[in-house]
């Protein structure tokens, strides 16, 4: 897990809050300023590539956003909290990283968006038959990968996915 949940004064952490993911691990523990700046720079590049990956069919989004969360957690607590608290990707990152699952709604959106962009690319941007075949193969691979990720029927991010099995020790 990226970090353990941090208990609030009432004794429990809100699964919606960045504290539930960040936990009690401060970003500045034992790191010099130069290394922290490298982590922030790398995290920023990873976020940018992840955003581009949302619109480019052959460029994945999730690994870059997870990398950005990892780097920000070590380089800047403020940027980390902004990323995991972001409206568009925060809940997605928490579910994927903590529980290795996705909501069904997000899977459907991702697959519809993926195949729409691939089809438009194949029709308007690619002339070679082998490149169209490659787009189809990548689409099939991503689809299989997404369908193998357990679905979360809509439980809050703090809860385990129903199809995820028992928690790891």
Q: How many residues does the chain have?
A: 169
pLDDT (0 to 100) of residue 71: 93
* Tens-digit pLDDT profile for residues 59-77: 778 788 889 999 999 999 9
Question: Around Cβ 121, how many Cβ atoms within 10 Å?
Answer: 17
Most confident of 50-64, 66-80, 92-106: 66-80
39 neighbors 33 (Cβ within 8 angstroms): no
Sign of CA dihedral 91, 80, 97, 17: negative
Average pLDDT for the chain: 76
What are the counts of helices (DSSP H) followed by strands (DSSP E) for the chain?
7, 2
Q: Rounded distance, CA 43 to CA 71, Å?
A: 5
Residue 103 CB partners (closer than 8 Å, separation 6+): 95, 151, 152, 153, 154
pLDDT (0 to 100) of residue 75: 92
For 150, which DSSP code?
P
What's the pLDDT band for 29 if we cut at 50, 70, 90? low
Measured in degrees and rounded to the nearest 5, phi and psi for residue 151 equal -90, 140
């Amino acid at each position: 897990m990226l970090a353990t949940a941090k208990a609030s004064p009432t004794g429990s952490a809100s699964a919606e809050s960045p504290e539930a993911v960040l936990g009690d691990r401060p970003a500045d523990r034992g790191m010099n300023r130069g290394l922290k700046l490298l982590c922030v720079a790398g995290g920023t590049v990873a976020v940018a590539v992840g955003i581009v990956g949302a619109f480019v069919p052959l460029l994945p989004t999730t690994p870059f956003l997870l990398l950005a969360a990892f780097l920000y957690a070590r380089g800047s607590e403020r940027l980390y909290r902004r990323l995991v608290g972001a409206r568009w990707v925060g809940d997605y990152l928490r579910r994927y990283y903590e529980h290795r699952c996705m909501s069904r709604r997000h899977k459907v959106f991702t697959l519809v968006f993926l195949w729409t962009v691939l089809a438009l690319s194949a029709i308007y941007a690619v002339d070679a038959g082998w490149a169209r075949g490659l787009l189809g193969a990548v689409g099939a691979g991503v689809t299989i990968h997404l369908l193998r990720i357990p679905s979360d029927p809509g439980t809050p991010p703090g809860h385990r996915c129903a199809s995820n099995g028992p928690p790891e020790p």
